[in-house]
Amino acid sequence: MDNDLRTNKKVERWQVWFFMCKKALLLLLMLIFCGTAYADLRFAADSIKLEIEENPDDFKSYFDLGLCYIAIDKYEEALTAFERSFELNSEYILAKYKIALVYYVMDSLEIAKSKFEELRETSYDKKAINYWLRSTYKMCGKIDAMHGHLDGAITNYQESIKLYRRTWGLKRELAMVYWKSGDTLEAYNWLDRALEDVAYYEFGSTTNKWYKAICLYDLTKFNEAIELNSSILDSDKSGIVLFNHGVFKIASGDSRGFENINNAIEMDTTGFVSSVYNAINAILVDSLSNTVALLQQNISGLQSSGVAKGLLAWTLEKLGKEGEAKQLWIKCYGQLPLGTDIESMRSFIDSFVQTIKEANIPQ
């Protein structure tokens, strides 16, 4: 009976998700997670514009156009597209959510927070209400944390978690907020809860160790993360495990981790690891424009990797592009150790780069 109930709950969650996203979800997967090139994304945007010329009242086309613009970091254009989508259909709450999200990424955090809070007052379809409430609480928690309002962040995260059955990612981020606040006991408490959620899905002991290593890295427990990751390498020498091992080592102050990243290149079929490796080499010889190009050439990797986004944000700052850099720092939230504010994330990347520079690695 319990298993049937659990299955029904999972089915219901997926039904709600697809109900809200429909073809927008499919487009997002195609454009971002498949690593589509910037030129292809621009072509997709142009194609959607042609659809809009034929049917100017199609709110979904405007929404899809907004997704394209987000993927190529054209946030003003994305905001205009999402706002038009919502004007055409005021019941399309997903567009309103994306408007708030764009303000968040554009560093208009107070506006973003007010937009997320407005969503809580909206009349929802019963199937969708928990999804929107938990998402708005989560985003308000992120904004509070980035402003250093840790008590508010903790409250918002906890409210969001109440509405999720299993959410290792939220609990992991809450653990970072508690660690940042100096409450290490609660940090480990929420870390344990996050790992309980991972164990619930029965990924297997190796994958569970992998998640735990990432959590330890998040809390700056680098040596413990390295030790645990070493035990994973005994049975799984995949590219991502080797890449993480290198990142953990460099984070701990051991520049030999750069060799681990190099070794991971052969096992990576996406080209992402080689992009990061070559980008770091470009940083070492102060070829910062080349660093930017290398990190931007693989969209899917850039979207998913805190280190890649952090290195790109750091490089853009060095080039004087502070606006673009700040947007990327915000995207790094929760993906770098103690990544609850820009200062902490910048300090981590500073140390990361300095460790490699001090090793005098031959070019």
Same domain, 100 and 165: no
Of the candidates 359, 333, 1, the one whose C-alpha atom is nearest the C-alpha of residue 169 is 333
Vertex 297, ends 101 and 76: CA angle to 5°?
Answer: 30
- What is the Cα–Cα distance from 116 to 140, expressed in whole angstroms? 7
- What is the Cα–Cα distance from 263 to 246, expressed in whole angstroms? 9
Residue 291 within a domain: no
Residue 271 has what pLDDT? 86
Distances (CA, A) of 312 to 41, 158, 277: 20, 32, 13
Residue 6 has what pLDDT? 42
Instruction: List, for residues 185-203, the tens digit of each pLDDT value.
Output: 999 999 999 988 888 776 6
Residue 192 within a domain: yes
Residue 29 has what pLDDT? 39
Amino acid letter at 149? H
Residue 72 within a domain: yes
Note whether 246 and 261 are within 8 A (CB): yes
Distances (CA, A) of 28 to 33, 116, 227: 7, 21, 37
| pLDDT digit string (tens) for the chain, length 363 residues | 334 434 444 434 443 343 344 344 434 434 443 344 555 667 677 788 888 888 889 899 989 988 888 887 789 999 999 999 999 998 888 899 999 999 998 889 999 999 999 888 776 665 566 677 888 999 999 999 999 999 999 999 999 998 887 888 899 999 999 999 999 999 999 999 998 888 877 666 788 888 899 999 999 999 999 999 999 988 877 888 899 999 999 999 999 999 999 999 988 888 889 999 999 999 999 999 999 999 988 767 777 889 999 999 999 999 999 988 998 999 899 999 999 999 999 999 999 999 999 886 655
- What is the Cα–Cα distance from 67 to 30, expressed in whole angstroms? 11
- What is the Cα–Cα distance from 324 to 58, expressed in whole angstroms? 31
- What is the Cα–Cα distance from 72 to 36, expressed in whole angstroms? 10
Same domain, 65 and 153: no
Same domain, 166 and 88: no
Same domain, 1 and 91: yes
Domain total of the chain: 2
- What is the Cα–Cα distance from 271 to 269, expressed in whole angstroms? 6
Same domain, 25 and 66: yes
Of the candidates 332, 64, 86, the one whose C-alpha atom is nearest the C-alpha of residue 100 is 86
Question: How many residues in total does the chain contain?
Answer: 363
Following DSSP, what letter does each residue of 229-268 receive, concatenated?
A: HHHHHTT---HHHHHHHHHHHHHHT-TTHHHHHHHHGGG-
Same domain, 4 and 72: yes
Tokens describing residue 142: 């992120």
- What is the Cα–Cα distance from 170 to 148, expressed in whole angstroms? 18
Residue 2 within a domain: yes
Q: Which of 183, 202, 221 is the last residue of a domain?
A: 202
Residue 194 within a domain: yes
Residue 181 within a domain: yes
Query: What's the CATH code of the domain at 31?
Result: 1.25.40.10
Quote the radius of gyration of the chain (alpha carbons, Å): 21
pTM above 0.85, yes or no: no
The answer for 335, left when phi > 0, alpha when psi is -120 to 50, beta otherwise, is alpha
Same domain, 133 and 197: yes
| Burial class of residue 29, CB neighbours in 10 A (0-12, 13-18, 19+) | exposed
Same domain, 10 and 100: yes
- What is the Cα–Cα distance from 315 to 285, expressed in whole angstroms? 13
Same domain, 20 and 94: yes
- What is the Cα–Cα distance from 180 to 174, expressed in whole angstroms? 10
Residue 362 has what pLDDT? 56
- What is the Cα–Cα distance from 35 to 305, expressed in whole angstroms? 13
Residue 140 has what pLDDT? 95
Write phi, then psi, for 108 (nearest 5 degrees): -90, 70
Range of 63's domain?
A: 1-106
Residue 39 has what pLDDT? 55
